[in-house]
Amino acid sequence: MISRTSSRITDRLREAGKRITAERRLLLDIITRNPHLDASAIHRLATDVNPKIGLATVYRTLNLLAELDLVDVSTLGEAHGHYEIRGDDHVHMICLRCGVIREASPLGDPRSLVDAEDFQVLQARLELIGYCPACQQDSKSSRQPHQPEGK
Ligand SMILES: [Zn+2]
Ligand SMILES: [Zn+2]
Which ligand lies nearest the alpha carbon of 134? Answer: 1
CA of 11 to the centre of ligand 2 (A): 23
Contact 69, 86 (CB under 8 A): yes
Angle, CA of 94, 102 and 57, to the nearest 5° = 80
- What distance in Å separates the CA atoms of residue 75 and residue 56, rounded to the nearest whole number? 20
DSSP character for 143? Answer: S
Q: Record the pTM.
A: 0.76
- What distance in Å separates the CA atoms of residue 38 and residue 128, rounded to the nearest whole number? 19
CA of 50 to the centre of ligand 2 (A): 26
The torsion angle over the Cα atoms of residues 112, 116, 122 and 127, rounded to 10 degrees, is -50
57 residue type, one letter: T
Which ligand lies nearest the alpha carbon of 85? Answer: 2
CA of 36 to the centre of ligand 2 (A): 6
Tell me the average pLDDT across 121-147.
Answer: 80
41-96 pLDDT, tens per residue? 999 999 999 999 999 999 999 999 999 989 999 988 888 999 999 888 888 999 99
Q: What is the pLDDT of residue 148?
A: 65
Most confident of 62-66, 119-123, 139-143: 62-66
For the chain, count helices (H), then strands (E).
Answer: 6, 6
Helical residues (DSSP H) of 50-102, grouped into ranges: 55-67
| CA dist list (Å): 4 to 11, 54, 66, 102, 107 | 11, 27, 19, 23, 27
